[in-house]
Amino acid sequence: MSRLTPNSSVGGLSNEAQVHPATRDGSPSPSEKTVQSSSTAVSTQSRRGMRKYLQAIGRFIVDQWFIVGMAVLIAISSQVQVPDSQQHLRQTIVTYLCVSIIFFFTGCTLPTRVLLENYSKWKVHAFVQAQCFLLTSATVFAVVSAVATSHFLDPGIIIGFIFLGSLPTTLSSNVVMTGQAHGNTALTVVQVTIGNFLGPLISPLLITMYTSTGAWYDSFLPDSRGGFGGVYRRVFKQLGLSVYLPMVAGQIVQNVFPRITKKVLIEKKFIKVNSFALLIIIWQTFDQAFATGAFTSVPPSNIIFMVFISIVFYFIWLSISFFASLPWLPKKDIIAVCYCVPAKTPAIGVPLSNVMYVGLTTLQGSKIQIPMVIFQGLQILAGSLFTIVYRRWVRPDEEREEAERKKEHEGHVPQEGEAC
């Protein structure tokens, strides 16, 4: 009986072949299989990670498509503008048509009872309007007065910021974004209508007060002040035709055809037309600014400062309005307040700058309007991003209210064995 040596074979196979029986036909060894499986696992994890990353980007773009659309329209308006001969016609059509669409659909979706209840909240109205006019104008005047000591900013820019701080809240974007953020849209509608009704009366008085200090930056303003009659007629005409009339029409449609209105606007999501109308309003504002050469009329350092200080103003006003509202207002009302207080409307500021001071050149008028245009873009960008934050903030309350409604509904369903 022979002994097996280390190099002897069993069944015709060497020890080396017995350890790695698959190496002779070219197939991978167990160690190679382990390496390959590890590499495959890493590759699969990498693909999954990339897929999740792309899905997250896609969800953000879908959720914030408004910001993407706004960026595209601003880029287009910087390269191609409506001819000068058509600027007034474009502004008139967009201002009346798009604002009317927003307030008509808003009227179709707001219950009349809720709207009337919010008009009766006079403490909230006084709270919001005092911040919109007094707080914001005083803040701006304090900052620009400090900056003016260095003669760094163009005087037209300083006057433009004084205009900005003295303006009422904006009309369209507040209503659209409060709805997107699940805030109290009815309260926002009430605040913007009150604010823009008071704006033509209060804003000129504030601007006159802040520009009558004898500072160096208001020396270029003409001594002859324009009458405000034209501003009043224009603003109240716009409010009547593009806000109040469409709102009343929407209320009538909602009460006459409640099921059809709910199905078309809510279930079919036709209410998103409001967002498209707002995008057109933003486009026409920047189209006018680029067409007049407003952004090229001041040094780049002034533009950078305007962007920076506008962001600072927005967050100061937002923080004050939020923390001042927190102790006594419900969350949905706080969201409405936080959209109304920091926002400013160029719809009144631009025509007001044209008629308050008779004799300004086109370039001087454009410089006054630049802060309003820049601030509008920034406030819409910030407001759109904050819709995500606000929705998450009110979601627990909404889920609790929905659970209570379901529980109450189930409580009315007869149990088995009970008489109906």
pLDDT-based confidence at residue 18 (cuts at 50, 70, 90): very low
Is the model more confident about 224 or about 267? 267
Segment 257-283 mean pLDDT: 86
Among 317, 279, 290, 277, which Cα is nearest to 374's? 290
pLDDT-based confidence at residue 13 (cuts at 50, 70, 90): very low
- Report the pLDDT value the prediction gives residue 264, as an integer from 0 to 100: 87
Q: Which of 76-80, 133-137, 236-240, 261-265 has the lowest mean pLDDT?
A: 236-240
Q: Which of 45-59, 65-79, 329-343, 406-420 has the lowest mean pLDDT?
A: 406-420
Segment 248-264 mean pLDDT: 92
- Report the pLDDT value the prediction gives residue 127, as an integer from 0 to 100: 97
For tokens 């059809």, the residue is: 260
d(CA 218, CA 196): 26
For tokens 């200090």, the residue is: 213
pLDDT value at 334 more than 60: yes
* Tokens (6 digits) for 207: 């601007």
Share of the chain above pLDDT 70, in %: 85
pLDDT-based confidence at residue 420 (cuts at 50, 70, 90): very low
Give the pTM: 0.80
| Structure confidence by residue, pLDDT tens digits, 42-94 | 677 777 778 888 887 887 777 778 888 989 999 999 999 998 888 888 888 88
Among 351, 325, 265, which Cα is nearest to 128's? 325
Is the model more confident about 175 or about 22? 175
Residue type at 274? N
Cα within 13 Å of Cα(247), Cβ side: 22
User: Among the residues of 110-239, which ranges form H helices?
Assistant: 112-119, 122-130, 136-148, 155-166, 172-180, 185-210, 229-239
pLDDT value at 181 more than 50: yes
Residue type at 35? V
Is the model more confident about 32 or about 366? 366
* Tokens (6 digits) for 256: 């006459």
Share of the chain above pLDDT 90, in %: 45
- Report the pLDDT value the prediction gives residue 357, as an integer from 0 to 100: 74
- Report the pLDDT value the prediction gives residue 243, as an integer from 0 to 100: 87
First-to-final CA distance of the chain: 98
pLDDT-based confidence at residue 216 (cuts at 50, 70, 90): very high
d(CA 303, CA 153): 10
Is the model more confident about 168 or about 24? 168
pLDDT value at 170 more than 60: yes
d(CA 180, CA 177): 5
| R_g of the chain, CA atoms, integer Å | 31
d(CA 15, CA 384): 72
Q: Which of 31-40, 234-243, 361-370 has the lowest mean pLDDT?
A: 31-40
DSSP string for residues in 270-282: GGGHHHHHHHHHH
pLDDT value at 8 more than 50: no
Q: Enumerate residues 6+ apart whose C-beta is below 8 A from 271.
A: 105, 109, 179, 265
pLDDT-based confidence at residue 1 (cuts at 50, 70, 90): very low
Indicate if the alpha-carbon torsion angle 349, 354, 356, 357 is positive or negative: positive
Is the model more confident about 414 or about 334? 334
pLDDT value at 6 more than 50: no
pLDDT-based confidence at residue 182 (cuts at 50, 70, 90): very high
Mean residue pLDDT of the chain comes to 84
